[in-house]
Amino acid sequence: MFAAACLGILVVMALALVRASLPGNVYDRILAINMFGTKTVLFIAAYGFLTERPDFLDIALTYALINFIGIIAVLKLVERVAGTASPETDE
Amino acid sequence: MIHLLWLGASLYGFWLLLSGHWDSGLLLALGGASTALVTLMAWRMQRLDALSFPAGLWRRLPGYWAWLFVEIIKANQDVVRRIWQPARFPISPTMAWLPASQKTDLGRAIYANSITLTPGTVAIEIDERGVLVHGLSAEVIADLRGAAMDRRVTRLEDGEGGA
Amino acid sequence: MSLVLDLVSWTMLLGGVFLGVSGAVGLFRFPDFYTRLHAAGVTDTLCAALILGGLMVQAGWSLVSIKLAFILLFLWYTSPTASHALAKAALRAGLGPRLAEKENPPSKS
């Protein structure tokens, strides 16, 4: 059952990655990457149960925090770069 | 000073919960050293004033969370329906400034976070007068205009107020 | 009893995965950035809660459950902040939302 959950989360992660690699504006991509990151946290947690190694939860916990800080950092960078230039238009 | 002690104690409690090794003196001491270091850094950064939570808030928070959780479940159902059945539940993106009746920054922050946490609505800008909200449909914006959440947060903030 | 618990946790896990897939589909289906933000919100809130909750039911009362609860707490504290920062940055950069008043564009499919 955990295998099914892991597989399902992997599918969601793959969809998010496809969305992020499609042409589009930069905010859509950050959104998809953010989703990929939070699903990674869930995946690590579920995988820890699948392999019966609850230590994985510590990694998931750390990853949840790192993901948040990473997204905010990327946003700051994009905000600064886009401060002068106009953004790519949607589609 | 009392805030510092609270911060240190709660950090150490957090460390104990995460480590799960409560029998080794060396590990306990190392945990104590790291929490002391973090508390010292927090003190040097002068961020402790941000931690001043009104005591009454803690008592009212669980009830608010329970209410918010139910709202989040309802909002999730709504958005998922709109994703899978676009013909029966069409989207109508709407953006509007909504009034916020909270008096403190903390209250407004709780309100804006609650708006964003319920799928279908995202708080974009916030100032003294209100919140700029983007909603997936005109219905969810109308719901927020009904101000049930606004009143709840205000009541959470000052204990009476609202209805 | 353990069969009931298993059933509960499996239902929660499957429900969480379903919400995750729904959110991902919404990411493709909704017409503009701001509406996609709401689709991502589904996967950040109830999807995470159901999956972590399902794991919690499996773990029972233990430190493992407490850690899972902390993961959920962190996700629920950080995801609105990230969404808000993303939306605010996009609006500041001049990315205008498509609103229903002007037109109601059909989904992209």
Per run of 10 residues, the mean pLDDT along chain A (length 91 residues) is 90 93 86 91 92 87 89 82 53 37
Q: Which residue of B has its CA nearest to C26?
A: B83
Whether C25 has its CB under 8 Å from any CB of chain B: the answer is yes
Where exactly are the structural domains of chain C? Answer: 2-92
- The answer to whether position A87 is within a domain reads no
What's the mean pLDDT in B70-74?
A: 92
Query: Which subunits sit against C, judged by 3+ Cβ pairs under 8 A?
Result: A, B
- The answer to whether position A8 is within a domain reads yes
Where exactly are the structural domains of chain B? Answer: 2-51, 56-158
Over the stretch B121-141, which tens digit does the pLDDT of each residue have? 999 888 887 889 998 888 888
**What tokens were used for B153?**
């947060």
Residue keyed to tokens 């950064």: B45
Q: Which residues are registered as beta bridge partners of B132?
A: B97, B125
Domain extent at residue A57? 2-82
> pLDDT tens digits, chain C, 109 residues: what are they?
688 888 999 999 999 999 999 999 998 888 888 999 999 988 889 999 999 999 999 888 888 888 899 999 989 988 998 898 888 888 888 777 878 764 444 433 3
ipTM over 0.90: no
Interface contact A75-C14, CB threshold 8 A: no
Interface contact C46-B73, CB threshold 8 A: yes
Interface contact A4-C27, CB threshold 8 A: no
Q: pLDDT value at position C97?
A: 81
- CA distances to B50, C4, C89 from A72, in Å: 20, 42, 11
**Which chain B residues contact residue C92 at CB under 8 A?**
none
- The answer to whether position A90 is within a domain reads no
**Which chain C residues contact residue A35 at CB under 8 A?**
23-24, 27, 40, 43-44
Q: Which residues are registered as beta bridge partners of B134?
A: B95, B122
Find out whether A44 and A59 touch, Cβ atoms under 8 Å.
Answer: yes
Whether B138 has its CB under 8 Å from any CB of chain C: the answer is yes
- The answer to whether position A24 is within a domain reads yes
Angle at the Cα of B89 (from B86 to B93), degrees rounded to 5? 85
- The answer to whether position A89 is within a domain reads no
Find out whether C15 and C2 touch, Cβ atoms under 8 Å.
Answer: no
| Radius of gyration of chain A from its Cα atoms, rounded to whole angstroms | 16
Find out whether B93 and C99 touch, Cβ atoms under 8 Å.
Answer: yes
**Which chain B residues contact residue C76 at CB under 8 A?**
117
Q: pLDDT value at position B4?
A: 79
In the sheet with B130-135, reading across from the earlier edge strand, the strands are B94-99, B130-135, B121-126
